Structure 1
Amino acid sequence: MHCILLLTKPPYETARSGRRPSHNALAETINGLYKAEVIWRQRSWPSVSAVEMATLRWVDWFNHHRLFGPIGHIPPAEAEANYYAAINNLDMVA
């Protein structure tokens, strides 16, 4: 029942909430990547826990091991750590 409700909801919130379809573009792109790289590669899944474990492994890879070109061919988690380290260094200088 819960899955059916999710599929029938509109793809974006109303303009009154401040959300537009473009706000969902990144989320939809990530969901598409996840489905293509994890879910659809295996014909069937033995259990929900198998899907959960595969999801956790993919999210870990996506954030901590994937080399992302636009940020210098480093993992996103490393770029985030570098960003906060730079901010802390600026705070110390000031």
Structure 2
Amino acid sequence: MTRPRMKPHERRIDPWHDAGQVERAVVQWVGWYNTERLHSALDYLPPEEFEAAYYRSLATPNAA
């Protein structure tokens, strides 16, 4: 399993000035990674949307 990494264009060019700035940047990136990015293995849906659709499908009885 590979770990997700920030792409070069997602990284800041100028250095962070304190740990708070680093923490905010990481929280923002993790939020994007888990909620907004499109994922090819999930039929190009964001992970959060795919998960919601999955749980909706479990709650809906199958029409046989």
Identity over aligned pairs, percent: 32
Measured on the aligned residues, the alpha-carbon RMSD in Å equals: 2.2
Q: With structure 2 as the length reference, what TM-score do the two structures score?
A: 0.77
The answer for unaligned runs of 5 or more in structure 1 is: 1-24
> Which of residues 25, 32, 44 in structure 2 aligns to 1:73?
44
Greater relative contact order (Cα < 8 A, sep 6+)? 2
Q: With structure 1 as the length reference, what TM-score do the two structures score?
A: 0.55
4+ aligned runs moved over 6 Å, structure 1: none
Higher-Rg structure is 1
> What is the distance in 1 between the residues matched to 2:49 and 2:41?
13
The answer for unaligned runs of 5 or more in structure 2 is: none
Number of residue pairs matched?
62
